[in-house]
A and B are shown apart, each in its own frame.
Chain A
Amino acid sequence: MPQASSSAAPERYMISVDGLRLLIEALRARGRRVVAPVVADGAIIYDDIDSLELPRGVTDEQEAGRYKLAQRGDDAYFGYAVGPHSWKKFLHKPALRLWRAERKGDEVTVEAGRIEPQNYAFLGVRACELKAIAIQDRVLMGGDYVDPHYKAQRDGAFIVAVNCGKAGGTCFCVSMEAGPKVTQGFDLALTELISQAAHEFLVEVGSPAGAELLAELPRRPATREDTGAAQAVVEHTAASMGRHMPQEDVPALLMRNLQHPRWQEVAQRCLSCANCTMVCPTCFCTTVEDHNDLAGVESSRTRRWDSCFTMDYSYIHGGSVRPTVLSRYRQWMTHKLATWHEQFGTYGCVGCGRCITWCPVGIDITEETQAIAASEKA
């Protein structure tokens, strides 16, 4: 389990592309299920890998409502931003059975859903995603009621983070102070360095488990030049964000503009399809469904991701509390950017840009916030 980095001088080493392959193999040799970015169905998604099956030389072009793969012209393994998947699909599963019950005569037996830790190793986790995982940790394990399903996957997970070498067109992690440089919550962190002479990765150690693994790999200590080059990579990424939030107190801005006409405008575009919440790496809401068989002998309860954009989500006796799309969009956006603070002490947004890219009609949370901010200055 990753620890916050210690105050001692961080250890930095260099590994080669072959070293990266050996890293994956070492994780697998420890019985870990290694999940990493791979190209599938016209996008970069997260899936199991056996070896170095990363998207080599591939990048993505992202805009509001648009995503496209392209060739980079080099052999970079991490030369893209985040895609439609996030790590929550492994930690906070889209659907799972909570329990099943069976009746035999007058006896009813209830059996809790099996918890099967997958012993994950996540490779290629970005700074915004580490922040998102930390946010879900707070929500799902940080209070009095711990979600055992989440905890089982999270506790054992080994994290190999990557500093972003490229900002996506919809990225705004700098505004949310969530990246692009990873600072904590990892076992190992890589920065990809490609020059005429070499293709290497600068490795930072974030935990004893990370140090122990790195000790097995062929490596050399990083030079001052290597460290400088790695710093230049994240600085360049930070300077090329595709989007920005207004530079002001966003929670206060939104909460004093709950009746702003802009909400009506965005509601005319919003499809209430829930794509933004499904791709959001911090959205955690679920609903439960009860099932029974025809004979009335067996029944079960399943849990699956839900969204504040559905009518059912706010349904109580008498109807939905948020029947209009306006009220649902406003609920979502103010929760992400304002009321999350009151509830959990942080933003619920990490600036990954997924909600912008994967909105079928390209609604942009930064543009909506900017519009409200600009109207106050007009």
Chain B
Amino acid sequence: METRKPRLAVWKFASCDGCQLSLLDCEDELLAIAGAVQIAYFPEATRGEVRGVYDLSLVEGSITTPHDVERIHEVRRRSKTLVSIGACATAGGIQALRNFADVREYMSLVYAHPEYIRTLETSTAISENVHVDFELRGCPINKSQLIDVVSAFLAGRRPNTPTHSVCIQCKLKGNVCVMVAKATPCLGPVTHEGCGALCPSYDRGCYGCFGPKETPNAPSLSGWFASMGMDSKALQRIYRTFNAHAEPFRKESERHDAQDRKG
């Protein structure tokens, strides 16, 4: 009996497109993906569109406008399985820095006619707006992990995306810890694995691109950074990047912000 191939849709919200590009960047595996699923909606790759319900929706980007809110509910209605991909979709992205500021003030500085702009006060993760079946972390996502998520969906198994620290990956690779041996501040101990410990493998500290790991202890790590000479302004900044709105990082940056204001 001929069975219908699962329908795949790729959606974009507020984002840089880098994560959906990871799908096109799969190169060797792209034909296998096209063979395993019907690419039913993917404007970045094709103008063709299959209307209806999708078996697997990959959602990139964060929710920043009233129109986004309507659209994500529509996407949810039409998706059997919804996977948010990348730091924008899972944590609000770099644009979530607006959550710490006054958006109206920004608009008046950036746009000649701010009255035409309809935007929200905040940039939020997809999971803050609709139910999400799985979140794939990273800025950008790791394409091997993306392929694994799609393969896992097709096979009905759990994806291999460990939620532990970057440190475990460093140690599996045999990297010498940059923090202990070189006093380089590194967010690896509080950051979710997924990049393959990219930066520490090239002698740099982790920037936290994959967001907080399971049960992170940012205050303890910050205390150690402070003993290495980082002041509260610097500490506030390291947590305010691509995953600034992820709760453990947000709380930690706000704590240092408050300390900095106190002086």
**Is the pair A295, B32 in contact by a Cβ cutoff of 8 Å?**
yes
A325 at the interface (CB under 8 A from B): yes
**Is the pair B32, A294 in contact by a Cβ cutoff of 8 Å?**
yes
A66 touching B180 in the complex, CB below 8 Å, given contacts A271-B217, A275-B189: yes
B150 at the interface (CB under 8 A from A): yes
Min CB gap B204→A, angstroms: 12
Min CB gap A35→B, angstroms: 12
Residues of A within 8 A of B175 (CB): 41
Chain A: number of interface residues, binned into ranges = 35 or more
B117 at the interface (CB under 8 A from A): no
B91 at the interface (CB under 8 A from A): no
Residues of B within 8 A of A361 (CB): 189, 220-221, 223-224
B190 at the interface (CB under 8 A from A): yes
A367 at the interface (CB under 8 A from B): no
Residues of B within 8 A of A41 (CB): 175-176, 181, 203
**Is the pair A312, B164 in contact by a Cβ cutoff of 8 Å?**
yes
Residues of A within 8 A of B157 (CB): 290, 292
B172 at the interface (CB under 8 A from A): yes
Q: How far is the CA of A68 from the CA of B155 in the complex (A)?
A: 48
- How many residues of B are in contact with the other chain, CB < 8 A? 45
Q: Residue B167 contacts which of A274, A294, A295 (CB distance < 8 angstroms)? A: A274
Min CB gap A131→B, angstroms: 21
Residues of A within 8 A of B36 (CB): 294-296
B247 at the interface (CB under 8 A from A): no
Residues of A within 8 A of B167 (CB): 273-275, 278, 360
B48 at the interface (CB under 8 A from A): no
**Is the pair B171, A278 in contact by a Cβ cutoff of 8 Å?**
yes
**Is the pair B154, A84 in contact by a Cβ cutoff of 8 Å?**
no
Q: How far is the CA of A84 from the CA of B172 in the complex (A)?
A: 12
**Is the pair B151, A294 in contact by a Cβ cutoff of 8 Å?**
yes
Residues of A within 8 A of B174 (CB): 45, 85, 89, 94
Q: How far is the CA of A41 from the CA of B147 in the complex (A)?
A: 33
* Nearest opposing residue in chain B for A272, CB measure: B215
Min CB gap A296→B, angstroms: 6
- One digit per residue, 1 when the CB lies within 8 angstroms of any chain A CB and 0 when it does not, for chain B 142-173 equals 00000110111011010010111101100111
B263 at the interface (CB under 8 A from A): no
**Is the pair B171, A271 in contact by a Cβ cutoff of 8 Å?**
no
A40 at the interface (CB under 8 A from B): yes
**Is the pair B172, A270 in contact by a Cβ cutoff of 8 Å?**
no
A220 at the interface (CB under 8 A from B): no
**Is the pair A43, B221 in contact by a Cβ cutoff of 8 Å?**
no
* Nearest opposing residue in chain B for A311, CB measure: B214
**Is the pair B150, A360 in contact by a Cβ cutoff of 8 Å?**
no
A304 at the interface (CB under 8 A from B): yes
* Nearest opposing residue in chain A for B147, CB measure: A294
Residues of A within 8 A of B179 (CB): 65, 360
* Nearest opposing residue in chain B for A299, CB measure: B155
* Nearest opposing residue in chain B for A306, CB measure: B168
Min CB gap A308→B, angstroms: 11
* Nearest opposing residue in chain B for A279, CB measure: B171
A362 at the interface (CB under 8 A from B): yes
Q: How far is the CA of A236 from the CA of B224 in the complex (A)?
A: 34
Min CB gap B60→A, angstroms: 20
**Is the pair A43, B181 in contact by a Cβ cutoff of 8 Å?**
yes
**Residues in A141-157 with C-beta less than 8 Å from chain B:** none
Residues of B within 8 A of A268 (CB): 217, 220
Min CB gap B137→A, angstroms: 15
Min CB gap B123→A, angstroms: 28
Q: Residue B164 contacts which of A290, A291, A292, A307 (CB distance < 8 angstroms)? A: A307
Q: How far is the CA of A274 from the CA of B172 in the complex (A)?
A: 11
Q: How far is the CA of A293 from the CA of B36 in the complex (A)?
A: 10
- One digit per residue, 1 when the CB lies within 8 angstroms of any chain A CB and 0 when it does not, for chain B 26-55 equals 000100110110000000000000000000
Residues of A within 8 A of B163 (CB): 310-312
**Is the pair A270, B176 in contact by a Cβ cutoff of 8 Å?**
no
A67 at the interface (CB under 8 A from B): yes
**Is the pair B168, A84 in contact by a Cβ cutoff of 8 Å?**
no
Residues of A within 8 A of B217 (CB): 268-272, 325
**Is the pair B154, A296 in contact by a Cβ cutoff of 8 Å?**
yes
* Nearest opposing residue in chain A for B223, CB measure: A361
Q: How far is the CA of A334 from the CA of B181 in the complex (A)?
A: 28
B61 at the interface (CB under 8 A from A): no
**Residues in A305-322 with C-beta less than 8 Å from chain B:** 305, 307, 309-312
Min CB gap A298→B, angstroms: 10
Q: Residue B160 contacts which of A42, A45, A291, A296 (CB distance < 8 angstroms)? A: A291
A122 at the interface (CB under 8 A from B): no
**Residues in A228-273 with C-beta less than 8 Å from chain B:** 268-273
B93 at the interface (CB under 8 A from A): no
**Is the pair B223, A294 in contact by a Cβ cutoff of 8 Å?**
no
A371 at the interface (CB under 8 A from B): no
Q: How far is the CA of A85 from the CA of B36 in the complex (A)?
A: 42
Q: How far is the CA of A68 from the CA of B178 in the complex (A)?
A: 11
Residues of A within 8 A of B148 (CB): 291
Q: List 5 A-B contacts (CB under 8 A).
A: A45-B176, A273-B168, A294-B33, A294-B147, A295-B35
Sort A-B residue pairs by CB-CB distance and give the 6 closest, nearest first.
A278-B171, A273-B189, A41-B176, A294-B32, A273-B165, A271-B189
Where the two chains meet, the residues of A that have a C-beta atom closer than 8 Å to any C-beta of B are 40-43, 45, 65-68, 84-85, 89, 94-95, 268-275, 278-279, 289-296, 299, 304-305, 307, 309-312, 323, 325, 357-358, 360-362
